[in-house]
Structure 1
């Protein structure tokens, strides 16, 4: 498993297909053996956890006793083995370490630079309540258009209760052929809402950039919705174009960005940060792999980063690096709080698994897992404001967006201060 295949998504599963670059299915010569021997598959999963899992105590579970328990069972088919594997992994108490049957694993490998099939929901099991919780809808998706929002709890899928339901099971129920319907029942605070969604193919370009006018000149506004395989090249092209447009500063919008690939967050951080640390990863042996800036930043102009509770994982690496290096100002609300890294690997029968192998720390050594990044400037949205933006996504990044308005105000102050410093230097 290469470093470029490490995953930082906030989701236990996605109801769209997700690419894990470099983690393709590589079946070995023992493929047929694994198909005929479900018990060997159970042991393969156990071995992967035993060698790589981030917590050497395995959530205070006797992992060797677990092996004996599950290998002493007889499995009549692979479906029974799959059920036991999921049951075994639940003992770790980690929603991000999960098993995927061959269909789920293939779904996870659809190229993110192409079309995604689904309703566009990033989904996870809440660590405390275990309820199926929406991390964020993907912009332009059926879920986003219908008004499903981050933190919504999915209580029913086509009338079937999700109480105690495995995330992978929920994903299987929600996915389906394009143009077919799925009904989701959602709990939002005290409200119970129903959404009839039509499944679709969703083309995702993770970067959207534009030039905005401000009192101090032109501002580059960049919205990054996902750290997918093509996020870094699209970000590079956006910054280079905005530099040619002579913008005076930048607003980087990471709101509702659930994360993605580790290397994408590092590559993008290097475009903004000239020197200093970006992130370090620490496995259970305490080995730290540190990533630093490479003195190849594309701009040194003032920067404001917008975040919210849907900004997770790779978004938190990027905003944490910018904050710790004092490269820009973080505006919005506290981020999601996922400081864990997964690797995704194939198994002998064509199934796969994601394993939490490390935690990450910001350049100043902060562990943000279950806490998140605290903004430098807090701007909360009330329910009315949030719903207005949900109903009309075109208002995001405009004067109808209170968090953007504050970000623009903070950026203008930084631009004015920089212009004033330059004027004094010339005098």
Structure 2
């Protein structure tokens, strides 16, 4: 199975408001169409891509040949009519992550190398069973994050418009807007209804933040990874090298609330921690596997604890699953989100775009985490209220001993450091 790595994204980040482009960094649109495609040609182009690449060879038990005949027998007077039919056609697959983007939506999906984005900073998906729009995670320090949006929140209304029957593209169009304008989200959380008035903003995302910390476990490195964007690997490499130069005895890697991103980024970062072993396997509809493995170039072999929660999705699950299964790290926190689908994003000839689910992935132990997620080795629950207080109102306590998940991680890390016999001199 030959896959262009730069075009490979993960299902959990199928739609990201203000960060949709982060999932597709490295995808280059054709700019202008190679020729002016007719509406019917665009419909057939989408059908052909799905026919060749879609992960489910039964097409959700749908006669895909009959679908082609049905939609090519229609008359289309303009592209907008074709776009409507394409969306109807794709709905038959029952997969919210295979989606069509008109030229404007596709253009908005592109992001330049600066990583500067405009929006509110949440990643969303559509629940495959209920069809409700669900927040995967807010991006740290964005308007949605500061407003108090949480992972697993259900979006009931956008600017008082019901989201019932609404797909993710429609939701993106309603939530997106100019900086300093407002959008109102009506959220359902644990049965309660809440309303959030959020001001859109221009957002600059730095995927990695790190620091050297003195702790009961000794001198340790703390690294927070917010997004698996194209530059995350380089920033992670710089963080590890700097902390290694400071002679840290071990690491806490914080993936809480990280909604994922690019597959190649998760593999690249896994290789920095793992010297040997399988990282992930992707399986297409023929059952063909492509395995990504460590390359013997790990930057450190020091003890590692990873913090995860229900907002850790897709690429976060690949990284944490790889390091857990290879017994390279201990996972602390709560069950992860549970998205194990891989997409390819394709520009179409008329300037529109298509994201199509082409594979599912398994962790090194062969586990399919889709819809379940990864269970931590050590469970440390936080209530929504605790998490909101910690991440919003008392940020100075985050990644300190007043942070229950971090504190447990440090406790476990201390035991690992002691077991490896790292001397006090090495801790200093």
- Fold agreement, TM-score > 0.5: yes
Asked if the contact 1:258/1:311 (under 8 Å) is kept, the reply is yes
Offset, 1:275: 0.8
Q: Spell out, residue by residue over 1:382-419, the C-alpha distance to the aligned partner (whole angstroms, 9 max, x if none).
A: 23312212423443212221111111111111111112
Offset, 1:29: 6.8
2:420 and 2:107 map into 1 onto residues whose CA distance is 50
Normalising by the residue count of structure 2, what TM-score does the alignment of the two structures yield? 0.95
Structure 2 residue ranges without an equivalent (≥5): none
Offset, 1:112: 5.8
1:342 and 1:243 map into 2 onto residues whose CA distance is 35
Q: Spell out, residue by residue over 1:107-164, the C-alpha distance to the aligned partner (whole angstroms, 9 max, x if none).
A: 1111364211000011111122111111111111000011111111111111111111
* Residues 1:189 and 1:73: Cα distance change in structure 2 (over 3 Å): same
Identify the residue that residue 420 of structure 2 maps to in structure 1. 418
Identify the residue that residue 403 of structure 1 maps to in structure 2. 405
Q: Spell out, residue by residue over 1:359-398, the C-alpha distance to the aligned partner (whole angstroms, 9 max, x if none).
A: 1111122111112111111111123312212423443212
Offset, 1:28: 7.8
1:416 and 1:215 map into 2 onto residues whose CA distance is 12
Q: Spell out, residue by residue over 1:22-45, the C-alpha distance to the aligned partner (whole angstroms, 9 max, x if none).
A: 32112687521x1xx111100100
Q: Spell out, residue by residue over 1:210-267, the C-alpha distance to the aligned partner (whole angstroms, 9 max, x if none).
A: 1111123111010101100000000000000000111110000111111111110011
Give yes or no for the alignment of 1:23 onto 2:27: yes
Offset, 1:3: 1.8
Matches within 5 A, 1:149-298: 149-298=150-299
Matches within 5 A, 1:6-85: 6-17=8-19, 18-19=21-22, 20-26=24-30, 30-32=34-36, 34=37, 37-85=38-86
Asked if the contact 1:235/1:268 (under 8 Å) is kept, the reply is yes
Give yes or no for the alignment of 1:335 onto 2:374: no
1:147 and 1:135 map into 2 onto residues whose CA distance is 14
2:362 and 2:349 map into 1 onto residues whose CA distance is 33
Asked if the contact 1:117/1:202 (under 8 Å) is kept, the reply is yes
What SS does structure 1 have at the residue aligned with 2:421?
A: helix
What SS does structure 2 have at the residue aligned with 1:237?
A: helix
Offset, 1:167: 0.9
Asked if the contact 2:13/2:261 (under 8 Å) is kept, the reply is no
2:379 and 2:371 map into 1 onto residues whose CA distance is 19
What SS does structure 1 have at the residue aligned with 2:13?
A: coil
1:113 and 1:5 map into 2 onto residues whose CA distance is 19
What SS does structure 1 have at the residue aligned with 2:80?
A: helix
1:28 and 1:152 map into 2 onto residues whose CA distance is 38
| Count of aligned positions | 419
Matches within 5 A, 1:85-96: 85-96=86-97
**More deviation in 407-416 or 18-27?**
18-27
Q: Spell out, residue by residue over 1:62-119, the C-alpha distance to the aligned partner (whole angstroms, 9 max, x if none).
A: 1001111111111121111111111111111111111011111111111364211000
* Residues 1:172 and 1:391: Cα distance change in structure 2 (over 3 Å): same
* Residues 1:111 and 1:396: Cα distance change in structure 2 (over 3 Å): farther
**More deviation in 104-113 or 136-145?**
104-113
What SS does structure 2 have at the residue aligned with 1:31?
A: coil
Offset, 1:328: 1.0
1:251 and 1:205 map into 2 onto residues whose CA distance is 18
Asked if the contact 1:282/1:360 (under 8 Å) is kept, the reply is yes
Identify the residue that residue 102 of structure 2 maps to in structure 1. 101
**More deviation in 245-254 or 388-397?**
388-397
What SS does structure 1 have at the residue aligned with 2:290?
A: strand
Computed over aligned residues only, the root mean square deviation of the Cα atoms, in angstroms, reads 1.5
Identify the residue that residue 125 of structure 2 maps to in structure 1. 124
Identify the residue that residue 142 of structure 1 maps to in structure 2. 143
2:402 and 2:93 map into 1 onto residues whose CA distance is 44
Asked if the contact 1:153/1:188 (under 8 Å) is kept, the reply is yes
1:384 and 1:171 map into 2 onto residues whose CA distance is 28
Normalising by the residue count of structure 1, what TM-score does the alignment of the two structures yield? 0.95
Identify the residue that residue 306 of structure 1 maps to in structure 2. 307
* Residues 1:139 and 1:27: Cα distance change in structure 2 (over 3 Å): closer
1:183 and 1:28 map into 2 onto residues whose CA distance is 35
Asked if the contact 1:274/1:297 (under 8 Å) is kept, the reply is yes
